Chains A and B, each alone.
Chain A
Amino acid sequence: MATEGFVARPRIDWIGIAFAVVLTLVIIFPLLVVGTWAFANVWRYPNLVPQEFGLRYWYQTLARPDVWQAITTSISLAVSVTAISAVVCLPAAFAFARLQFPFRSLLFFSFIAGQAFPKFGLLVAIAGIFLSLNLIGTFWGVVLIQLVGTLLYMIWIPVAAFQSVDRRMEEAARDVGASPLRVFWSITLPQAGPTIAAAVLLTFVNTFYETEGAWLIGAPQVRTMPILMISFINNQPVIQYGAVLSVILWLPSFFALLFARRVISGGSFARGFGA
């Protein structure tokens, strides 16, 4: 733009700048405050910046056994749920995308039901069933309840991914001698791969931050990171504990985004949603 400056003077995009400023304030400012709190050893009214920066509360937070317990629980929960969801949903998604069977549309749209109605009501109803199955307060109970929340992403996005694979590509592979199974492995899956990776990533991150189901089914035995953070914020007079935990909670989504940028070529998300 700069070199073209005197040819066609670029107009100042005031609306764009206004949007950028508002977005920055709304998104960056709270992050900045929480981030500052996490590294503040002493921060008393009326100072605008903390009196003393340091890692004191990091040591204290990370020394707590319940924090480590929660980190392990959260990671193993998210990994289990994502893996099981992939195993269950991906073949189903392929079936939805390619096969004709009775009640196909009805089943397909039933997956949106979990998202379309107030989720808490659904969860309470499921909790009632889990109570009689002795699943309340167990790891696998939480896995099951969180699986419900992943169905939409793990079915709908891969369905769109499989549907958007050019059938002529698959036919061309058959033509040069590939069996139907070989076509799936060598053509369909690599073509749908980036979009499916996006779905897996979304599922992982969403499960990691899921609180309602985890709290309703898991509490008090199973405590995930977000639930621990909420209880810190609600019950601890020291703000820093909650702040440190929330900064730690940024990490998964940060790495997920980095990974996403590498794995997912531009437009995969959009294609996944049928754009």
Chain B
Amino acid sequence: MSVLDIKGVTKQFGGAVRAVDDFSLTVGDGELVCLLGPSGSGKSTLLRMIGGFETPSSGSITIDGEEVIHLPPERRPTGMVFQSHALWTHMNVFKNIAFGLKLRRRPADEIKRRVDTVMELVGLTGYGSRQTHQLSGGQQQRVALARSLVLEPKILLLDEPFASLDQHLRERLREEVRDIQQRLKITTLFVTHGQDEALSMADRIVVLHDGRMEQVAAPDMLYREPATPFVAGFIGTMNLIEGNVSGGNFSRLGFSHALPVADGPAIFAVRP
């Protein structure tokens, strides 16, 4: 039972530009929420603030009702999977996964049991003694995932975890991660700039643009009823036609179509 609650979080780096601007979101227990947006939209900054790697300029972040803003990353109940895997190349696979348990001074037999369990979960059984450079990109990402999962974090944070993988592998891992997440019922926040990734994995999608939330909705709602022109242009492919509405009729050059909205300039969106 873990609920992540973000309230009015703003992040300002140096100047006046707000990387994240007054962002609020509640992620329910066992829910997988995708933060979707183009690069520079503030989604990674938001994730790093939850993980403890950036401090918000204002606002609050609570996990199960407990404020975490003043905690350093090592004392937060979050587990982060980095885009670049960030595996420790001087340790083998087993040691990478076991490091967090070692820091917690668990007995050796418990460490072995838990690491074996999680390696089986991510499909890496038998790879314990491999060096990280002997693994493929997909396997490295599995190690990174296992390294977080073995500590049973309350909140799992994934920062574009599949960005460095090829399309085929990405699709497979996407399903696997979703499957693992559902089995463990782990509350998950997933950052991506790929709409297909978000649409196929998420319970809900948050669309971010210039540090602001454009819309939060279930994937099919987002697809069918985008709330803003930005979301309409970002999700799926749409033809956006700028024109005018007068008397319940949208018109642009020779084209016109009945549109029951107020008069004035409008954008007519059509899916192919």
Contacts and interface: CB of A to CB of B under 8 A. Distances in A.
A is bound by B: yes
Interface of A: 166, 168-169, 171-179, 182, 186-187, 190-191, 193
A177 B103 contact: yes
Contacts, number: 63
25 contacts: A168-B86, A169-B86, A171-B73, A171-B80, A171-B82, A171-B86, A172-B80, A172-B82, A172-B87, A172-B147, A174-B72, A175-B51, A175-B52, A175-B74, A175-B78, A176-B74, A176-B99, A176-B100, A177-B151, A178-B74, A178-B99, A178-B103, A186-B99, A190-B90, A193-B90
Interface of B: 51-53, 72-75, 78-80, 82-84, 86-90, 99-100, 103-104, 144, 147-148, 151
Given A171-B82, A172-B82, A187 B88 contact: yes
In this complex, which of B75, B86, B148 has the most chain A Cβ atoms within 10 angstroms of its Cβ?
Answer: B86
A190 B147 CA distance: 19
A182 B74 CA distance: 11
B221 to A, nearest CB: 33
B89 A191 contact: yes
Given A174-B72, A177-B100, 6 more contacts: A169-B86, A173-B99, A174-B53, A176-B99, A177-B74, A178-B74
A169 B74 contact: no
Nearest to B48: A171
Given A175-B78, A177-B151, A178-B103, A168 B84 contact: yes
B218 to A, nearest CB: 29
Contacts of B73: 171, 174-175
Nearest to A183: B74
A186 B80 CA distance: 19
Nearest to A194: B90
A190 B132 CA distance: 15
A166 B90 CA distance: 12
**A168, A175, A178, A191: residue with the most chain B Cβ atoms closer than 10 Å:** A175
A39 B127 CA distance: 55
A166 B104 CA distance: 24
Contacts of A186: 99
Contacts of A172: 80, 82, 86-88, 144, 147
B135 to A, nearest CB: 16
B69 to A, nearest CB: 16
A105 B236 CA distance: 49
Contacts of B144: 172
Nearest to A187: B88
A176 B151 contact: yes
Contacts of A171: 53, 73, 80, 82, 86
A80 B53 CA distance: 41
Contacts of A191: 88-90
